[in-house]
Each structure stands twice: as structure tokens, then as C-alpha cells.
Amino acid sequence: MTPPGGVGGVTDALALVHLRDGTRTVNGRAGETTVDAAPGERVRVRVVNTDNAPMSVWVPAAPFRLVAVDGSEVHEPGEVRDVAVEVTGGARADLEVVAPARVELGGAAVLVGAQVPPPAPRPAATLDPLGYGTPAPLGFDPAVATRSFDYVIGRSPGFLRGVPGMWWTINGHLYPDVPMYMVAEGDVVRMRVENRSGEGHPMHLHGHHAVVLSRDGVPATGSPWWFDSLQVGDGETYEIVFVADNPGVWTDHCHNLPHAVEGLLAHLMYEGVTTPYRLGGPNSPD
């Protein structure tokens, strides 16, 4: 039987993180948030980064597991310690800790149980999901992709909505002059996301979860790294894949929303789906 507020004997705690006037808040409150837990109780802290910039999460002086990324379970997540988890803009990460534990959120904290360890600075090491957990079936074969796209992020001078400036580009195009990524329902879609823009971007495709195949040519070896918000650092290239199983017209954009306004926004469109909206027009869908 599932206990109240928990799954499989693990207590659930939400940590909705947001910067308000420069102060990091958790569930709307600054400082420390306490979660009641008995010693030895396992607690799943669901961190949601509602800001534009990446944030770090770490657990001083205690082991933890990264049990889910963007709402997808990690397969066989191993215990780690003295590493930080990066949660990019719009992303989610579920950390399972054993009480008493302190989950640091970079200016705020969740205290799980009583007499938790004292605060500690962010560990130098960062957990890399590329090799974390163990492999599991994807449910489809990424080797038989039926579509293959490039999403190359750059930056160039030009005019965006008539305004001159340095704007983000996609495959060299300025918004709204960015072709649709066209798919048909059932396609297995591979996408190479390459960032040569000078800044990192939390890339976010609506309506789908994708899985990371490789970063900078290094194949993923751990649990399937399902995501919907992926931090693509400057100079990095990710190969990702997803199944087109949700017909519609979906934005595929930078989740740092000022960047989206500055043109880092494209669309995935299914064959046979129409819309009265027109890109760049007064009723633009973005």
C-alpha cells in the first residue's frame, strides 16, 4: 500500500525553487524548509527549477541517489556522495536521501528530519547523467531513425522583428525565418544539437521526452537519460532521439526565456496538422 504523499515507502517532498528579487525561495519561502522525517526514513525531494539559469543541488556529508530526471525514473540509480546535481532552467531532478539529511539548493535548503548535517559548500564534482545508472530498453530502436535533424545554435548580427542586434540563430537562420522540423506520427527522430553561440542554453522541446545518445561523441552508457530540458553548454554537441508520438505543433526552444524572445525558438510540426497561426505574425504561436 502506498503511504500518504509517497510512493513505495518513500516520503515525497516538493522543492519548487524560484528566485524572488534575487533571493532563492523554496515553495515560496526563503531560507530553510523542513520536512518531517524519522531517522532512517527515505525521502524523495523533487526539485523543480522554475528559473532561467541552471542551479546546483547537493547533499552535504551524506549519500544520495538521483532517482528521476524531468519526471522520468533513472534506471538503477547508484548511491553517490560529494557531487552536485545540475538542474537547468525548467528542469526537474528527484533526489532520494535518508533522514537526517540536508539538501542544499544554493542559497536555500531543505532539511529532511531533525539534527541534519551543517551546511557545506558545493562539491567541486558534478554528477554526469551520461554514465549514471544502468542501461534499460528504450522501447524503440534509435538506430532506425526515420528523421535526422541538425539544431545548430549560433549568434549573428541581424534584424529580429525589425530590431537590429546580436541575435541567436538556428542553423544560421534568424527567427522567424527558421524552417519547421517536419515529422510524421511514429517517426523515430534523431537530432544533433550543437551550440556554437558563446553561451549555454537549456534546450526544451514541448510535448515529448527525448533521450541522450551522446555528448561530444561520447556515447551514453548509464540509464537512459530521458529529459525535456537539456543544458547544452557552449561548444557542446548532443545527439538526442525521440519518438514522434504526440501530433501537434510544438515549440523547441531555449528555456532561458529571454533567449527565446531573442530568437532561440523553433517548431516541430507533424504532417497533416494545421494551424491558423503564422510565425512572426500578429497571432504568432510563440
Residues that bind Cu ion in the complex, under the rule CB under 5 A: 201, 254, 256, 259
Specify the residue, 161 or 278, whose C-beta has the smaller distance to Cu ion. 161
Considering the complex, what minimum distance in angstroms separates the CB of residue 215 from Cu ion? 18
Cis, peptide link before residue 54, omega less than 30° from 0 = no
Considering the complex, what minimum distance in angstroms separates the CB of residue 242 from Cu ion? 20
Kindly report the backbone phi and psi dihedral angles of residue 260, in degrees, each rounded to the nearest multiple of 5, phi listed first. Answer: -60, -40
Specify the residue, 124 or 163, whose C-beta has the smaller distance to Cu ion. 163
Specify the residue, 25 or 256, whose C-beta has the smaller distance to Cu ion. 256
Considering the complex, what minimum distance in angstroms separates the CB of residue 194 from Cu ion? 14
d(CA 24, CA 13): 17
User: How many Cβ atoms from other residues are within 10 Å of residue 278's Cβ?
Assistant: 11
| Cell 524519522, residue located | 38
Considering the complex, what minimum distance in angstroms separates the CB of residue 201 from Cu ion? 3
Considering the complex, what minimum distance in angstroms separates the CB of residue 234 from Cu ion? 10
Specify the residue, 74 or 254, whose C-beta has the smaller distance to Cu ion. 254
Specify the residue, 147 or 155, whose C-beta has the smaller distance to Cu ion. 155
Considering the complex, what minimum distance in angstroms separates the CB of residue 108 from Cu ion? 24
- Listing DSSP states for the chain in one string gives -PPTTEETTEEEEEEEEEEETTEEEETTEESEEEE---TT-EEEEEEEE-SSS-EEEB-TTS-BEEEEETTEEPSSPPPB-S-BEEE-TT-EEEEEEESSEEEE-SS-EEEESSSPPPP-PPPS-B--GGGSS-----SS-GGG-SEEEEEEEEEEEEEETTEEEEEEEETTBPTT----EEE-TT-EEEEEEEE-SSS-EEEEETT--EEEEEETTEEP-SS--EESEEEE-TT-EEEEEEE--S-SEEEEEESSHHHHHTT-EEEEEETT---S--TTSTT---
Specify the residue, 230 or 254, whose C-beta has the smaller distance to Cu ion. 254
Considering the complex, what minimum distance in angstroms separates the CB of residue 49 from Cu ion? 14
Specify the residue, 132 or 168, whose C-beta has the smaller distance to Cu ion. 168
